[in-house]
Chain A
Amino acid sequence: MDKWKLYARKSIGRRLYVLILRYFAFFALGAAVLLGTNYYTLQTYQKEMGEQQHKQDTLESMATHANQIIFRARGYYSFLTQFEYDEIFKEKDRLDAAIEEYDNLNLNAEEHELSDSVEKFFDNYFATIIPRTTAFARNNDMEGLRTISSSGVADEVNRLLKYTEEYKLKSQQALKQQNNELIRKSILLNVGLLVYTAGLLALAIWSISRISKEIGRPLSRLAHNADRLAQGETVRWDRTDSEDEIGRLSRSFEEMVVQLQSKEDMLVVQNEELSAQQDELQMQQEELQGALERMEENERYLKVRNELIGTIANTLDRRLLLKRIVENTVRLSRSEKGMILLLNKERDYSAFGISDGVIARFRSHLDDFVLPRLRQTKEPFLITRKAQKGESGLHEDPCNVTELFIPIVRTSGEVAAVMVLSRTGTSFSGTEEQELAGLAKQLALSLEKLEMHEETERQRQLTQNMLNTIHEGVQLLDMEGRILQANMQMHELMAGAEAAAEGSTLDRYLVHLEEHVENAGNLKAFLQNAADGRALPASSMVYRLTKPESRVVQIYCETLQLHGERFGVLLVHRDITHEYEVDQMKSEFVSTVSHELRTPLASVLGFAELLLTRELKPERQRKYLTTIHEEAKRLTSLINDFLDLQRMESGKQTYDRKKIDLLALLSSVVELTSGQSSRHRLLFETEVGQAPVYGDPDKLKQIFLNLVSNAVKYSPEGGDIKLSLSREGTAWRVDVSDHGLGIPADALPNLFSKFYRVDNTDRRQIGGTGLGLSIVKEIVHVHDGDIHVSSEYGKGSTFTVTLPIYEEQPPQPTDRPVPSRRAGTAGKVLVVEDDRHLQEMLMEELQQRGFQVFVSTGVEEAIQQIAAEPPDAVVLDLMLEGGQDGWSVIERMKQDPDLRSIPIFISSAFEEKDRAHRLGAAGYLVKPYAPHHLSDTIRRTLREALGKGPILVPASEPNDEK
């Protein structure tokens, strides 16, 4: 029990529970007592009522049966029926049962006596009276009967009945009394309930006051104390023994206050100790500060040194490197002045704080003392001397200047440079000297690196220059597809596109090509294969650039190997646009010529066949023969025109140019043509008296004859054809105009093209080769003139030719070559050629140009001639007499040191330029070529070689530059 009490006291909650439980227990007890009492009272009342009623009923039953017996007996006496007799006994049984029941009830003495007397009476009645009476009745002895009856047989029954009546009254009274008793008890119970409720209320008030006393008061006291403590007041603590939370809180609060106070004391003590330690630390810190300053000083030095090494390691410019070295070293060593001087050919230097005069003096006297010593010892050395006036600055006292000479030694041991540092006042310590010597080693490495870089750069530049002199675009790709190098021609070809230039990649280049190349797919595949090193179907292909201008380019690739391993691919782009166009033109031309020739041929052959195979009338025969004749003539003039043009275009046409009068020439043209056509009138107008030009009279005449005959041809309806000559600036202008068909505007641009003929029904009947105007244009251009046409379709055309006016110049004998067969003016040339005809032609050309010419037809003969009398140049055919190989002449010449430098010009029908250049030929001419090309080439080569080689060209060589 005490344990539970203790348990309840430890918590406010539990204490509250206990209080409430107590209250409820009291309430439940009271309620139970009241209810029980009430219940019991009612039960007792009901039971007593029941018993009373039962007793009364039984009694009544007894009285009834007793009465019945007497009644039945009297009935029997009267009627003597067996039924009545039996009924007497039946009633007797019923009476007995009622008596027995009555006896079992709770009876008092009087009632027992009544029951016994009744029982006794009837026992007696049946035992004595009934037999007698029955006998009397049967005997009809009424008297007997009356006697017996008057002997008081019925008295007992009457007493019973009377008693029963009495009992009934009595029990009614008892009932009334009991009711009164019940009401009294009820009132009593109600009063009890009121008292009990008042008691409950009182208990509740007491419980609340108890709670307030036991919980509220200590809490507010605690709060108050806590407030005071928080405000810093000293708290006098009332101890409490309470076991609950407040008690514990209060006790721990108290302990806390005690601890706080004790800790405060400790803190004060510690604080004093700390301030003592702080003083000590202050002292130590001051010591450290000193050390740190020294360290920082050191660090600064190292930083400058690292900076120096860092910057020089990254500097690849010589001047900048030297400048940085000297400036940083002076700063690093706390010197006033300094200088570094390279011991290369130029003796490059950089100085800091030194005048030019001093530098010049130092450089010129370097070899006297400083260098020999440094070279010998390879160690720094000091010179101390008195400061000169300028050097001591603001100091008045005499002081010393120390100069430190440091050699910068290569890894090979050679002194690469000298560094001089100068200090006024303080000297260099041993440590400083060592440090600077260490630095010098770093500098030596930097200088070597610089030299290596310069050498590499020089090589690179050389390679780039070489690449740039090549006519082909060159790209160098490494194995990763980077473009390592691209030359100038490549840039030009790609119009400066960065994707094709150095530093780009194959991938970018391919993307670039996508938009700039026709059918880029093939080229891309080619490049990809080349870069991947896969086998190529062909090592070269042709592609067409579309932007920025259309170019045809042949590309070929070469794999580059180093020590047997692939390291890159060289792509060479050759612009073959010109060759391609020439080729295109050639094949177009051939096709056109073929067409032009076939048409007249078809007529000639066709009519000839008809004449040969058919029987024809004479008129038709004549008609056909005339046609054959006409067509054959047309064929001839076509071939002539074509050959003329071909000769002119290839430069083989020779012009016999001289001073002529254009006026006279035009007059003769008019004379020749007028009268050819009856429908046309030829007019010639001019206001010029004389028109000198310099040209070939036959060719010039051809121009105007052609123009006039065209005018006639294309004005089939006839009309005036006007020829006029006038002066226009520095040129003569000749107009040929007609009033004929005219030329459609869209045909004008092509009018002077070969085989171009205006497609027009009106002109269908007008024959022609389509070459006339091309020839005219060629001749005009050769004469430095110009031709153009203006025309109105349907109204006529005007062709205008301008030719430069010839002005007489004072004779300049040295200005022009003197055609001479005199030998040996321009140099000696050996022509090795087995074709006699060509031999003669070349000989004539070269002799005319002032060369002394020898000829040979075979290899051995040529070699002998060359050895006997070395020529200045050799012209060599590759196929010589009896199938001898011309290459062997070159090979043998190149093997002989005396003959090696003689330029060789190959004149061959084969295109083997590559091989020729490999072997060292100076020039290559593919047959057929214009002979003057050969002489020009030789002349140019010899002039270029002048002063460089052993070729001696006579000083009297005429200058033939125009």
Chain B
Amino acid sequence: MNRILLAEDEAVLRMLISDTLEDEGYEIEVACDGEEAWGMIQADAYDLLILDYMMPKLTGLELIGRVRELDSPLPKMLMLSAKSQQAEQDRVLAAGADAFMSKPFSPNELVKKVKELIHG
């Protein structure tokens, strides 16, 4: 069973993403802001992190930075952002994210991407 952490401050989107992925058989844990997510990442090991870019307290980008400094094996990271510019995407990928999706996104596309990331 693959474990996924979803960090997203919008409740509706949390519901959308977790419902979608749970249907596919993944185990999803959720965090409502950056700091909460950081606490969970430190406490537990995840196969994939789905991070929102714009979150209170800690942004997705800052989270990526912190995760990369951890000693434990690096989880895959997928960044969701309301900013769609190419520059934004480049910056996120350069910071160490494995994939980038801009909002609004297709839940089916998301599933595809998650599968790619987890199963190679």
A260 at interface (Cβ–Cβ under 8 A)? no
CB atoms of A614 and B23 under 8 A apart? yes
B10 at interface (Cβ–Cβ under 8 A)? yes
Q: Which chain A residues lie closer than 8 Å to B56 at the CB level? A: 759-761, 764
CB atoms of B9 and A764 under 8 A apart? yes
CB atoms of A610 and B19 under 8 A apart? yes
CB distance from B25 to the nearest CB of A (A): 14
Task: Return the contact of A610 from the options B11, B16, B104 (Cβ within 8 A).
Answer: B16
CB atoms of A602 and B13 under 8 A apart? yes
> Size band of the A side of the interface?
20 to 34
Please, how many angstroms separate the alpha-carbon atoms of A606 and B103 in the complex? 10
| Pair count A-B, CB < 8 A | 67
| Chain A residue at minimal CB-CB distance from B110 | A606
Interface residues of A in 588-624 (CB under 8 A from B): 591, 594-595, 598-607, 609-610, 613-614, 620
CB atoms of B82 and A595 under 8 A apart? yes
CB atoms of B103 and A602 under 8 A apart? yes
Q: Which chain A residues lie closer than 8 Å to B16 at the CB level? A: 602-603, 606-607, 610
B72 at interface (Cβ–Cβ under 8 A)? no
CB distance from A614 to the nearest CB of B (A): 7
CB atoms of B32 and A761 under 8 A apart? yes
Main secondary structure of the interface of B (DSSP, over half): loop
| Chain A residue at minimal CB-CB distance from B109 | A609
User: Contacts A594-B82, A759-B56, A761-B32 hold; do A601 and B11 have CB atoms under 8 A apart?
Assistant: no
Main secondary structure of the interface of A (DSSP, over half): helix
| Chain B residue at minimal CB-CB distance from A628 | B12
Q: Which chain A residues lie closer than 8 Å to B107 at the CB level? A: 606, 609-610
Please, how many angstroms separate the alpha-carbon atoms of A605 and B13 in the complex? 11
| Chain A residue at minimal CB-CB distance from B32 | A764
Interface residues of B in 76-120 (CB under 8 A from A): 82-84, 102-108
1/0 contact trace for B17-40 toward A, CB 8 Å? 001100100000000110000000
Please, how many angstroms separate the alpha-carbon atoms of A600 and B103 in the complex? 9
Max chain A Cβ within 10 angstroms of own Cβ: one of B19, B23, B84:
B19
CB atoms of B9 and A594 under 8 A apart? no
1/0 contact trace for B28-65 toward A, CB 8 Å? 00001100000000000000000000101100000000
CB atoms of B11 and A602 under 8 A apart? no
1/0 contact trace for A704-728 toward B, CB 8 Å? 0000000000000000000000000
CB distance from B51 to the nearest CB of A (A): 15
CB atoms of B32 and A595 under 8 A apart? no
User: Contacts A591-B83, A761-B33 hold; do A605 and B12 have CB atoms under 8 A apart?
Assistant: no
B15 at interface (Cβ–Cβ under 8 A)? yes
User: Contacts A603-B13, A627-B12, A761-B32 hold; do A594 and B23 have CB atoms under 8 A apart?
Assistant: no
Task: Return the contact of A631 from the options B12, B32, B33 (Cβ within 8 A).
Answer: B12
User: Contacts A606-B104, A606-B106 hold; do A594 and B83 have CB atoms under 8 A apart?
Assistant: yes
| Chain A residue at minimal CB-CB distance from B54 | A595
A765 at interface (Cβ–Cβ under 8 A)? yes
Please, how many angstroms separate the alpha-carbon atoms of A870 and B107 in the complex? 67
Q: Which chain B residues lie closer than 8 Å to A599 at the CB level? A: 10, 13, 82, 103
Q: Which 4 A-B pairs have the closest CB atoms?
A: A759-B56, A602-B104, A595-B82, A598-B82
- Can you show 18 pairs from A to B with CB atoms below 8 A apart? A595-B54, A595-B83, A598-B103, A598-B104, A599-B10, A601-B103, A602-B16, A603-B13, A603-B16, A605-B106, A606-B20, A606-B105, A606-B107, A607-B16, A610-B16, A630-B12, A764-B32, A764-B56
